[in-house]
Amino acid sequence: MALTDSALPLHAPAPLAPGPTTMPSRRPDSILDPGFNLTLRPMKYPQFFEMYRGAIKNTWTVDEIDFSDDLVDLDRKLMPAEKHLINRLVAFFATGDSIVANNLVVNLYTHINAPEARMYLSRQLYEEALHVQFYLTLLDNYIPDIAEREQAFAAIENIPSIRKKAEFCFRWMGSVSEIDRLDTDEKRRAFLRNLICFATCIEGLFFFAAFAYVYFLRSKGLLNGLAAGTNWVFRDESAHMNFAFEIVNTVRNEQPELFDERMASELTAMLDEAVQCELQFAQDVLGEGVHGMSLNDTREYLQFVADQRLVQLGLEKQYGSKNPFSFMELQDVQELTNFFERTVAAYQVGVAGDVAFDEEF
C-alpha cells in the first residue's frame, strides 16, 4: 500500500549508491545546452567568448555625442520633407531597440544556455540599453515640442507604417514566449525562427534601412551628430547580427535536421514579408519627396540587403538586386575604418591575459 504524507518515514534515507563520475547524457532542453556544466571551464564554444571580448573593446557613451550642429541643421538647413523623414526615423528608433531588448531577456537568454554565449548576451543587453538612451536623447533634442514627442513615443499606436513593423516583430519573435523548454524539434525550430527574425529582419534589415537614411543625410553634410552616434550603433548592431548568425551556424552543425526544406521556405517568406513592411515605412518616410533618395532605389536597396541575409543563412537569393546607395558602400568600408582609427585611444578598453579553452579547474 502506498504511503500517505503522514506515513512517510521520519529517519534519514539511506545514502545513494555511488554513481558515475559524470552526469548522464540527456537530450538538451535549450539551444547550445552544455548539460550540467554551467561554468566557463572547459569552454565548449570559445567563439562566443571571443565575441564578448571584442564587444568590451567597443565601449562608448551617449554623453560624448555633440548635437549642437544638428540643431542648427534642423532649424535652418533641412527641407520640410527631410524633417518629416527625421521625425519618422526617430519615432521608429524610440521603439525598435526596446523590442529587441525585451526579446533578449524573455526569449534568447532563456533558451541559449551556453555560459560563454550568455556572457555576450549580457553585454548585448547593455548595448541595447545604450541605444535606447541614444534614441531618447535624439527625441529630446530633435523634437522639443512635448506633444509631438509623446506622439513619437506612441508610434506603434498612431503611425501605421511603424505599427506594421512592430506587429511583424511581435508575431515572429513572440511565437516562443509561451515555450518553457526546447524539448522537441518543433520547439527548437520555433526558437530558431525567432532568432533568425531578430538577426535578419530586425537588426539586419529594419535597422540597416534606418542607417541608410542617416547616411544619406550625412552625405549631404547634414546631422553629423546623428551620424556620429549611428556609427557606434552600426558597429554594435553588426556585431549583434554576426553573433546571432554564429549561433545559427553552430546549431546547424549540431542539429542539421532542424534546417529542412520547410524551414528554408518559412525563412524566405519571413524575409520577403519584412521587405514589404520596410517598404511601407519607406513610402511613409519618403512620402513628401526627399530630393536624391527615391522609393525605387530604396526598394532596390532593401532587396539587396535581404539577399545578403539569405546568403548568410545558406539560402538562395530571391531578388538579384544591387546596392544603389554608394554612400552605404562607403559606410561599410571607409567609415568603420575611420571609426576605429578615431576611437582606439578614447574608447577601446584592453582585455588583459590569455584564455586556454581546454583548461580544467
At 343-352, the pLDDT tens digits run 333 344 433 4
Give the per-residue pLDDT at 353.
41
Split at pLDDT 50, 70, 90, the class of 233 is very high
- Answer whether residue 115 is part of any domain: yes
Query: What SS3 state is found at 321?
Result: coil
How many residues are present in the chain?
361
Cβ 137 vs Cβ 64: under 8 Å: no
Q: What value does the mean pLDDT take over residues 268-293?
A: 96
17-26, 92-101, 151-160, 256-265: which is most confident: 256-265
Mean pLDDT, to the nearest integer, of 290-305? Answer: 96
- Which pLDDT band holds residue 330 (cuts at 50, 70, 90)? low
Residue 78 placed within a domain = yes
CB 94 within 8 A of CB 295: no
Asked if residue 162 has pLDDT above 70, the reply is yes
C-alpha cell belonging to residue 336: 568603420
Distance of alpha carbon 315 from alpha carbon 335, whole angstroms: 29
**In the 8-state DSSP scheme, what is residue 292?**
T
How buried is 280 (Cβ within 10 angstroms: 0-12 exposed, 13-18 middle, 19+ buried)? middle
**Per-residue pLDDT tens over the stretch 180-230:** 888 899 999 999 999 999 999 999 999 999 999 999 999 999 999 999 999
Q: Does a structural domain hold residue 57?
A: no
CB 187, CB 179: distance < 8 Å: yes
Q: Which of 120, 135, 142, 215 is catalytic?
A: 135
- Extract long-range pairs of 22-27: CB within 8 Å, 24+ residues apart: 27/183
Tally Cβ neighbours within 10 Å of residue 112: 24
Q: d(Cα 326, Cα 348) in Å, to the nearest integer?
A: 29
Beta carbons of 275 and 206 less than 8 angstroms apart: no
| Per-residue model confidence (pLDDT) at position 206 | 96
Asked if residue 113 belongs to a domain, the reply is yes
Q: Is residue 43 part of a domain?
A: no
Crossing angle of the two packed helices 185-196 and 224-254, in degrees rounded to 10: 160
- pLDDT at 160 (0 to 100): 94
Counting Cβ atoms within 10 Å, is residue 57 exposed (0-12), middle (13-18) or buried (19+)?
Answer: middle
**84: CATH:** 1.10.620.20
Q: Does the model's pTM come out above 0.75?
A: yes
- pLDDT over 70 (residue 283): yes
Active site residue 135: yes
Q: What is the mean pLDDT of the chain?
A: 83
| Count of domains forming the chain | 1
Q: In a 3-state reduction of DSSP, which class is residue 224?
A: helix
Q: What distance in Å separates the CA atoms of residue 72 and residue 119, rounded to the nearest whole number?
A: 41
Work out the average pLDDT over 287-315: 96
Residue 185 lies in a domain: yes
| Per-residue pLDDT tens digits for 1-18 | 443 443 333 343 333 334
Query: pLDDT at residue 84 above 80?
Result: yes
| pLDDT bucket at 317, cuts 50 / 70 / 90 | very high
Average pLDDT (147-175) is 87
Q: What is the mean pLDDT of residues 303-309?
A: 96
267: nearest Cα among 306, 319, 320? 306
Given a contact cutoff of 8 angstroms between Cβ atoms, the answer to whether 143 and 84 are in contact is no
Determine, yes or no, domain membership for 58. no
**Domain interval for residue 300:** 67-339
% of the chain beyond a pLDDT of 70: 81
Phi, psi (rounded to 5 degrees) for 112: -100, 110
Examine residue 304 and state whether it is found in any structural domain, yes or no.
yes
pLDDT of residue 38: 63
Most confident of 67-81, 83-97, 175-189, 323-337: 67-81
Copy the grid coordinates of residue 215. Answer: 547616411
